[in-house]
Amino acid sequence: MAILVDENTRLLVQGITGREGGFHTRRMLASKTQVVAGVTPGKGGQEFEGVPVFNTIHDAVEETGANTSVIFVPAPFAADAIFESLDNGLETVCCITEGVPVHDMMRVANYPRLQNATLIGPNCPGMLSPGKSNVSIMPQDIFKPGRVGVVSRSGTLTYQIVNELTQRGIGQSTAVGIGGDPIIGTDFIEILKKFEDDPETECVVMIGEIGGNAEQRAAEYWQSEMETPVVAYIAGFTAPEGKTMGHAGAIVSGGESTAEAKSQALQKAGIRAATNPTEVAELVAEALK
């Protein structure tokens, strides 16, 4: 099985005619994802790579039965794009867009739960279930179908660790990049729960980074609620205090937000924490024995 996206995913691309949306739509189509619609206001009636383009989400859902959307619209319009997707009944919404204002996300944050929907992102690489569906900007060729779930705050570290797993012959059920902004739609705990409920995910890799306390909360959840083994990796041991490192949420402010504090909390809970990406694959191989 897989979580969030699979062979039943019927994908709608918001911003399909833009540069980024168009580029990644071609990649998703090449990986056999069911891209059934695109939305660009003012361009309804056109086609992009054989995919019909609509002016509104309402029209696209009504005509195609789309159940998932991926958002590539500019940051000032991303919150409205999320609201429009959720208001039209889409079950899963993935916002790739980076630079979405924090105040916009404060308006959005709790709305998916009211709609019984899942929001991934913003500022994330998306979701990919190898051999089933690719709703992401992740490189498909490094993935291999298998039984390890991956959840990460970092895009490029996801690629590196997935590649390490694949090189060892270890496949993945689903990889989810939740995003690195201070306010995101779905956190570690929500994804860990989905992996715990998936009978075909036998181990989970959790990739964290400096800033906040999401990893500590995930460790507490794992300790009390999960049986599936988790292997973790925290980036940022050498990050200088008080400096933003890549992601808006990755700011070391001392205390529990440091990589060292997070790693210690994970290990105290019983989660094995690797010191580098290669060791992650080694620990996963041991957990699967």
Structure tokens at 135: 């709703």
If asked whether residues 146 and 281 sit together in one domain, one would say yes
- Among the listed residues 24, 58, 103, 247, the single catalytic one is 247
Query: Are residues 105 and 209 located together in one domain of the fold?
Result: no
Which residues form the domain of 190?
138-289
pLDDT at 123 over 50: yes
Q: Label residue 129 by pLDDT band (50, 70, 90).
A: very high
272 and 150 co-located in one domain: yes
CATH of residue 270 = 3.40.50.261
CATH assignment of the domain containing 53: 3.40.50.720
Q: Hey, what are 80's tokens?
A: 């409205």
Query: Do 152 and 280 share a structural domain?
Result: yes
Is the confidence at residue 235, as pLDDT, over 60?
yes
Q: What's the burial of 242, exposed, middle or buried (CB within 10 Å: 0-12/13-18/19+)?
A: exposed
Indicate the pLDDT class of residue 59, thresholds 50, 70 and 90: very high
Q: What is the pLDDT of residue 53?
A: 98
Same domain, yes or no, for 142 and 228?
yes
Q: What value does the mean pLDDT of the chain take?
A: 93
Q: What is the DSSP string of 118-171?
A: EEE-SS--EEEETTTEEEESS-GGG--EEEEEEEES-HHHHHHHHHHHHHTT--
Q: Rounded distance, CA 83 to CA 71, Å?
A: 11
Residue whose pair of structure tokens reads 């056109």 in the numeric block: 46
Number of domains composing the chain: 2
Average pLDDT over residues 213-232: 96
Q: Is residue 132 part of a domain?
A: no
Please, what's the b/e burial string for 10-19 (b: 16 or more CB within 10 A of its CB; e: otherwise)?
A: bbbbbbbbbe
The answer to whether 121 and 185 have CB atoms below 8 angstroms apart is yes
Segment among 181-185, 206-210, 254-258, 270-274 with least mean pLDDT: 254-258
- Quote the pLDDT of residue 248: 46
pLDDT for res 178:
97
**Inter-residue contact 82 to 119 (CB < 8 Å):** yes
The verdict on whether 58 is a catalytic residue reads no
How far apart, in whole angstroms, are the C-alpha atoms of residue 69 and residue 97?
13
Residues 196 and 256 in one domain: yes
CB 46 within 8 A of CB 58: no
What integer pLDDT is reported at residue 241 of this predicted model? 57
Residue 242 scores a pLDDT above 60: no
Give the 3-state secondary structure of residue 227: coil
- Is there a single domain that holds both residue 116 and residue 150? no
- Are 46 and 87 found together in one domain? yes
pLDDT, position 250: 46
For residues 113-134, average pLDDT: 97
Tell me the per-residue pLDDT of 168-187, one tens digit each, with 9 for 90 and over.
999 999 999 999 898 999 99
* In a shared domain, residues 60 and 149: no
50 versus 250: which is more confidently predicted? 50
What mean pLDDT is predicted for residues 21-27?
98
* Cα separation, 43 vs 39, whole angstroms: 8
Which of 54, 89, 123 delimits the end of a domain?
Answer: 123
Sheet holding 92-95, edge to edge: 47-48, 51-54, 35-39, 11-14, 68-71, 92-95, 118-120
pLDDT of res. 240: 55
DSSP string covering 78-94, please? HHHHHHHHHHTT-SEEE
Same domain, 5 and 112: yes
Kindly state whether residues 110 and 170 are assigned to the same domain: no
